[in-house]
A = this chain, B = another copy of it.
Amino acid sequence: MRTGFEPTPRTTPTRYRERARYDRETVHQILDEALICHLGYLGAGGPVVLPTTHARLGETLYLHGSTGSGPVLAARAAPSGLPVCVTVTLVDGLVLARAAMHHSVNFRSVVVLGAARVVDDEAEKLRALAGLLDHLAAGRAADCRAPNARELAATGVLALDLVEVSAKVRTGAPEDDPEDCALPHWAGVVPLSVTAGAPVPAGDLDPAMPLPPYLARA
C-alpha cells in the first residue's frame, strides 16, 4: 500500500484547505468515476483546455488523440514531456445558502500536474487504449474489434504519472453565518447525479444481438 500524494506549493489550495485530499483512494475513485477530464496545456497561441476521455491504470493517467491533434503534437515536440494540468470534476449538488456569498456547489475534483509523455511502446499503448475503452464501460475492450496497425499509427497516447496530485471535495449542507439563519430564504442542497438512460442500439445492429452484461448493469 503506497502512501498518499505529497502536497506541493502548486497542490496546496489558498482557501478552503479543509477540502483538500491527498490520499490515493479518494484520488483514484474520482478519476475512475469521471467519464471525461479537461486537459490544459500551453499552445502556441496561449492556454488551451480540451475535454477528453481518460483512463487510470495504476499510478498513471492515459489520454489519447489523433497523432495530428494539438496536445499530441505538442507532447511529441517536448523532449522532456509537455507540462500539463489535467482536471477532473464531478458535480454532486447545488448548495443554496441564505447568503448570496455562501452559495456553492458540492463537488469532487482532482488536479494532476506534470509532464505528459507520448507512449511509443506498443504494449503500453495497447494497454492504455484498452483502459480507455474499459473506462467507458468495464469489459468493453474485450468485446470489440481491436485496433489494427493503421488505426494504431493514427492514434497518439499520452501518459501522465500520478505524482503531483490533489483532490478537493465539498459535501453537505450550506454554511450560513448564524445571523443569517432566520432569514426567510430556503436553504439546503439539490443533489445532482449522472443517470444512464436505456441503451439505443445502432440502426444497423442485428436486432437479435443481446445487450452486453456490462451495459445491462449500467
List residues of chain A with CB under 8 Å of any chain B CB.
9-10, 14-15, 35-36, 38-43, 45-51, 53, 66, 68-70, 83-87, 89, 91, 94, 96-101, 103, 105, 107, 109, 111, 113, 129-130, 132-133, 136-137, 140-141, 143-147, 151, 155, 173-174, 176, 180-181, 183-205, 209-212, 215, 218
Highest count of chain B CB atoms <10 Å: which of A133, A155, A186, A210: A186
Q: Which residue of B lies closest to A183 (CB)?
A: B145
Given contacts A14-B70, A38-B87, A151-B101, contact A187 B201 (CB under 8 A): yes
Task: Give the chain B neighbours of A200 by CB distance below 8 A.
Answer: 173, 188-191
Task: Give the chain B neighbours of A111 by CB distance below 8 A.
Answer: 49-50
Count identical subunits in the complex.
2
Given contacts A38-B87, A86-B49, contact A186 B209 (CB under 8 A): yes
Known interface pairs A51-B107, A96-B136, A100-B129; 7 further A-B residue pairs with C-beta atoms within 8 A, sorted by A's residue number: A38-B40, A96-B144, A98-B145, A101-B147, A103-B140, A181-B204, A191-B198
